[in-house]
Homo-oligomer: A and B are copies of this chain.
Amino acid sequence: LGVTIKDVAKLANVAPSTVSRVVANNPRISEETKRKVREAMDYLGYHPNFTARSLANRSARAIGLVMPSSAEKAFQNPFFPEVLRGISTKAHEQEYTLLMSTGTTEDETYRAVVGMVQGRRVDGIVLLYSRVDDRIMNYLFEQKFPFTVIGKPYKHDDQINHVDNDNYRAAKEVTDYHIKNGHERIGFVGGSLNLVVTTDRLLGYEKALQNARISYKSEYVIHADFAVEEGRRAVSELMTLDAPPTALVVTDDLMALGVLRMLDDMGLKVPDDVSVSSFNNAMIADLSTPALTSVDINIYELGYQAADLLLHSIEKPKSSPQMLKVKHEIIKRQSSGTFNEKE
């Protein structure tokens, strides 16, 4: 414990720099001395001090994770574990570790990020969300610090690394699907309008209606947080309208579960009275009763690719920004009525 490169050097009768080179497996060191030095290392139980190395190196081999400020809630949503799994896998492949910023308010999170960046605790950052006019994103952009966004940046999206789904198309497709199933009164239960993903999906929803010459009704559109309770609330609003929707496009599984629950409480049958579709296709979508039709957005892949992009731009900082679209797929289950498409 506390054995340094110097101790090893002394024991092996070489200079500290030589030991350093052996650790780095520098080819210009003779096999002979490598052996000797490694022996000494083993004997003393030497392990390089990562902090010192980072300082000399100016690299931390760590990437920072920024969750929405309401991380409290975020952790409840299966999206995050899954995206983390993807990021973690890629990071592991390249021997990077993950540093999670903690912060409850937006301001705290912002300062935590500034601390990470200026303090050189991380070599790059993955933003796990994309908000309209996000302070943290603006900061990273101005600093030209390596980062990737999961989702589509609100602006400068051609200059910022990001990986996203084609949310416009996905929402359009799932709305089309309801229309094909004969629905004309279709509701939309989306996340906060501050999230870019919400506006993208809303546009897709609108486009599908427009194509089918169904007029858009603002009272059919609800914005809420990604949580079970919020899904309930949305339903209680929608279903007390004069002409309540017969199908619902919900943009999150957790919300959708709340939707199902509330519909059940109100005595409405899914899919007979109301068809429901959702996004994310988390495990719970398959396990719920009735099973949820949900758009699989390949969350793991989003995370994995985001990390990949980031690591690229860390290793060669001059490379131009990359964008990636991850594919989606509607997984049809009971909640939307038909398993096979009608013509």
Q: Which residues of B contact A116 (CB under 8 A)?
A: 50, 97
A75 touching B71 by the CB < 8 A rule?
no
Given A76-B81, A92-B103, A98-B99, residue A60 in contact with residue B51 (CB < 8 A): yes
B287 touching A1 by the CB < 8 A rule?
no
Q: Which residues of B contact A53 (CB under 8 A)?
A: 119
Q: Which residues of B contact A92 (CB under 8 A)?
A: 102-104, 108
CB < 8 Å neighbour of A119 from B49, B84, B88, B101: B49
Q: Which residues of B contact A1 (CB under 8 A)?
A: 118, 143
Q: How far in angstroms is the closest Cβ of chain B from A304? A: 12
Q: Mark A68-91, 1 if CB is under 8 A from B, else 0.
A: 000110011010111011001101
Q: How far in angstroms is the closest Cβ of chain B from A12? A: 19
A284 at interface (Cβ–Cβ under 8 A)?
Answer: yes
B51 touching A119 by the CB < 8 A rule?
yes
CB < 8 Å neighbour of A99 from B49, B62, B119: B62
A257 at interface (Cβ–Cβ under 8 A)?
Answer: yes
Given A81-B81, A102-B91, A284-B284, residue A47 in contact with residue B289 (CB < 8 A): no
A241 at interface (Cβ–Cβ under 8 A)?
Answer: no
CB < 8 Å neighbour of A75 from B51, B82, B99, B287: B82
Q: Which residues of B contact A88 (CB under 8 A)?
A: 71, 75, 100, 102
Q: Which residues of B contact A288 (CB under 8 A)?
A: 287-289
Give bound CA distance, A53 to B60, whole Å. Answer: 14
Q: Which residues of B contact A283 (CB under 8 A)?
A: 76, 228
Q: Which residues of B contact A85 (CB under 8 A)?
A: 71-72, 75-76
A36 at interface (Cβ–Cβ under 8 A)?
Answer: no
A333 at interface (Cβ–Cβ under 8 A)?
Answer: no
Q: How far in angstroms is the closest Cβ of chain B from A136? A: 15
Q: Which residues of B contact A71 (CB under 8 A)?
A: 85, 88
Q: Which residues of B contact A50 (CB under 8 A)?
A: 115-116, 119-121
A52 at interface (Cβ–Cβ under 8 A)?
Answer: yes
Q: Which residues of B contact A52 (CB under 8 A)?
A: 55
Instruction: Please list the 5 inter-chain residue pairs (A to B) with the smallest Cβ-Cβ separation, ordered nearest first.
Output: A50-B119, A47-B118, A92-B102, A289-B289, A75-B85
CB<8 Å pairs between A and B, sample of 28: A1-B118, A47-B119, A48-B118, A48-B119, A49-B118, A49-B119, A50-B115, A50-B116, A50-B119, A50-B121, A55-B55, A62-B99, A72-B89, A75-B81, A75-B85, A76-B81, A76-B85, A80-B81, A92-B102, A92-B103, A92-B108, A97-B99, A97-B102, A98-B99, A98-B100, A100-B100, A284-B284, A287-B288
